A and B are shown apart, each in its own frame.
Chain A
């Protein structure tokens, strides 16, 4: 049995939120604060990169072009050459938002800024954010399926055999569930591990875990975006489509 003093846990402040009231609705203020920072950073970098567009790119434009090509490749690989273009903004924003959120949580010492309640951290370590993103992904692939195949989209539920109907329906629930919990769990666990290690040994020892955390954060962003694109591609192509190439 692990014996950690309750005070130590209390200092971690897991599950405490800075509540904002908005007409009877409760909001998690710390999540919005950091997400606004992330959104602001993304918009600022995009603005700076596209302010003075050159045919021969350099500096920030070059970097953002690299990012865009990376996102395009990701979407192209999962959705296919023909249909990927309209989905680049969605998949790309998923990747960029999650990636910048995760890294901001890992790199920026948010905890130095004290809030009345809760503490600032990556927006992705709040279940609301990840569920929102996962539900948007579900909506996106439903929309993709219906817009491309109409009501024939329902045919995918009885493919390859009608026996799989329950499993196919279940899939629509497990997809957002697994998407949201994977991201949420990884980021929260990473921040908790780092926090616990910092509490136990404040110097040097947490560093490898922090580096590992950076790696996981990047991988999680990539996984989320790739899976979202794969679901969209699957909805467009139908079961057993091109994704198994």
Chain B
């Protein structure tokens, strides 16, 4: 502290001698201010503006890319969901188709079996009927023959008696 005071004293002495000193305010001040303002303007054109623009553009680029990526992710998830749903839907459809096919096949099979049974039944009945008819024809012929034979017998008997 003493040192500094003493320095100031020396300064004062010097100021008297040569017009210098620590606190020598002169035209340096305004010129320095002008110089500084010019520097600010120059740096604004050369440094702050272009680099600031780059920073802002990069921020925009990054955020837009991020938004884009988020959108794409959402879209991809949506598509995956849709795929899952479609897959489930298709599986269900396949199940129903299989079930329908089985049912139809069952139906066709049972129909076919029923038809065959009916036909068999019909054939059997027809054969039965034919058999019955032939039997009754045979019986009728037999009866006729029995009638004829019995008449011949009768005639023979009666003839012999008459004779």
Contact of A22 with B27 at beta-carbon distance under 8 Å, contacts A4-B3, A55-B61 already known: yes
Chain B's closest residue to A118 (CB) is: B20
Decide if B28 touches A53 in the complex (CB within 8 Å): no
Contact of A127 with B32 at beta-carbon distance under 8 Å, contacts A4-B3, A97-B39 already known: no
Contact of A42 with B22 at beta-carbon distance under 8 Å, contacts A2-B2, A9-B10, A15-B14 already known: no
A164 within 8 A of B: no
Stretch touching chain B among A132-140, A152-160, A217-225, A237-245: A132-140
Kindly state the separation between the CA atoms of A64 and B50 in the bound complex, as whole angstroms: 11
Decide if B35 touches A35 in the complex (CB within 8 Å): yes
Decide if B46 touches A50 in the complex (CB within 8 Å): yes
Q: How many A-B residue pairs have CB under 8 A?
A: 140
A42 CB, min distance to chain B CBs, angstroms: 6
Which listed residue, B23, B43, B54, touches A93 by the CB 8 Å rule? Answer: B43
Decide if B25 touches A50 in the complex (CB within 8 Å): no
Chain A: interface residue total (CB-CB under 8 A) = 54
Kindly state the separation between the CA atoms of A239 and B20 in the bound complex, as whole angstroms: 41
- Interface of A: prevailing SS: helix
What would 18 more interface pairs be, CB under 8 Å, given A49-B47, A128-B28?
A: A14-B11, A15-B24, A25-B26, A27-B26, A27-B31, A32-B31, A35-B35, A46-B47, A55-B58, A68-B51, A88-B52, A90-B40, A92-B43, A127-B23, A129-B29, A133-B32, A136-B37, A188-B22
A-binding residues in B (CB < 8 A)? 2-3, 6-7, 10-11, 14-15, 18-33, 35-37, 39-44, 46-48, 50-52, 54-55, 57-58, 61
